[in-house]
Amino acid sequence: MDSLEQALPGLVREAQQLNKMAVARLISLFEDDREGSAVLRSQTLRLLDANPDTDTAGRRGRILGLTGTPGSGKSSLLSRITVDLLERNAELSLAVLAIDPSSQVSGGALLGDRTRMRFLPAEKRLFFRSQASQTDLGGLGPSSFQVCRLLSRLFDCVMIETVGIGQSEADIRHLADRVYLVLQPLGGDEVQFLKAGIIEIPHAFILNKSDEPTALKSFHHLRSSMWLARPFESEDLPIFQTSALTGAGLEELESEMLRQIESGGTAGLEMREPYFLDRWVHQEFGKSGGRFLAQQLGGATVFIAQAGGYEQAQAAFSQAFG
């Protein structure tokens, strides 16, 4: 750790030039849950926000989330969209964080989706990282928040792919500035979109696989489901009909994403720190840890303020509780 501390200023500068090796090394630090690493993380964040001789200093990239059931086409869409966006905006830099539920079974988060991504290894403006998810139901991994704090300081946009089923999909709403739910046309037995249960979460819908024969019927079905589930908003909720196979509908979706990215940075990962500190405490210390935070330490918001920051709060909590 000592040697990393010395190397940190250089490493941060290289990462700000989007050197892939440097970015990957910093990610490892932000995924590291050993105690000493919290100090290095807060040093990294300070360096990132302060380095005056780079144009990324003070950057907060917009965070877009793509969620939806496995097989709906999230990875296929991302592999096209990312490359298209880089072509459409020559200044843009993007990081993709794919949170892969299958990795628990296969034992490694590295293959799987990556092989399907049409990925440009030499392109500095595009960075791809795959992460194991916490459960086989998807949702965020234990360090997804940490890695987003880092990536949003380096790239104009962070795109997160998560599987959204059950409870876990709501997590993405806490991390992303905008959540897109990717759906595929209904099968013959008409499972209702409403039953999918996640219609309340997203800001926009992507009905993918529009090349399939039942796509149009499903579009009308989705519209009426939205009227039922979110009657006061449904006018404002876009549905993008896309095909990652043929490319149909992608231009419209990409235009909306570019508008999102160019409209400014993230609405504030700082604001989300209390939620993720609470989540971290529950993960690491269980329910009794959560009670201790709420009852003895005044709750996550108060405790972060008292400790002087998120990293400091993690370290202080481990001491106070452990």
Residues of this chain that bind Mg ion (CB under 5 A):
74-75, 113
Judged by CB under 6 A, the chain residues 193 through 232 that form the site for ligand GDP are 208-209, 211-212
Instruction: Determine if 96 is a binding residue for ligand GDP (CB under 6 A).
Output: no
CA end-to-end span of the chain = 22
One residue of 9, 36, 71, 264 binding ligand GDP per CB under 6 A: 71
User: 126 pairs with which residues across the strands?
Assistant: 94
- Give CA 186 to chain center in angstroms: 26
What mask, x for binding ligand GDP by CB under 6 A, covers residues 277 to 306? ------------------------------
Instruction: Determine if 125 is a binding residue for ligand GDP (CB under 6 A).
Output: no
Buried-state track 62-77, b at ≥16 Cβ within 10 A, e below 16: bbbbbbbbeebbbbbb
CB of residue 163 vs ligand GDP: minimum separation in angstroms? 7
Beta-strand relationship, 62-68 and 178-183: parallel
Closer Cβ to ligand GDP, 9 or 71, answer by number: 71
47-55, 137-145, 193-201, 243-251 -> range binding ligand GDP (CB under 6 A): 243-251
Closer Cβ to ligand GDP, 71 or 268, answer by number: 71
Give the pair of three-digit tokens for residue 74.
């999230």
Side-chain-side CA neighbours of residue 181 (13 Å): 24
Find which of Mg ion, ligand GDP, none residue 123 binds, CB within 5 to 8 Å per kind.
none
- Give CA 218 to chain center in angstroms: 27
- Yes or no: say if 169 and 154 are a contact pair by the CB < 8 Å rule: no
68-76, 126-134, 142-150, 261-269 -> range binding ligand GDP (CB under 6 A): 68-76
